[in-house]
Structure 1
Amino acid sequence: MKKGSVFGLVGFILGACGAAISITAIVFSALGLVFAKRNVRPHIR
């Protein structure tokens, strides 16, 4: 294998990991918003 293809493969793996982490973060933040809206009942005096 050439050096360029090795660096390209590493970059692709790092990019895929970054995308998976960002998607997971977006999903968890959305779930957090949903559960926060569901559980919090504002006390209006």
Structure 2
Amino acid sequence: MILNQKTIKKQTVNLHKNIKPLLHRSKQGTATQWYTAVSARLN
């Protein structure tokens, strides 16, 4: 799937909005959650 820069930037911003609460809630397993979220968005 080919994404243009604007779409990627927008998705990245959305990802950070979604992930920030996860970071605050739990430090354990955060990397896995982040990776899963990114993979889900990109696939």
TM-score calculated relative to the size of structure 2: 0.44
Q: Greater relative contact order: 1 or 2 (C-alpha under 8 angstroms, separation 6 or more)?
A: 2
Which protein is bigger by CA-based radius of gyration?
1
TM-score calculated relative to the size of structure 1: 0.43
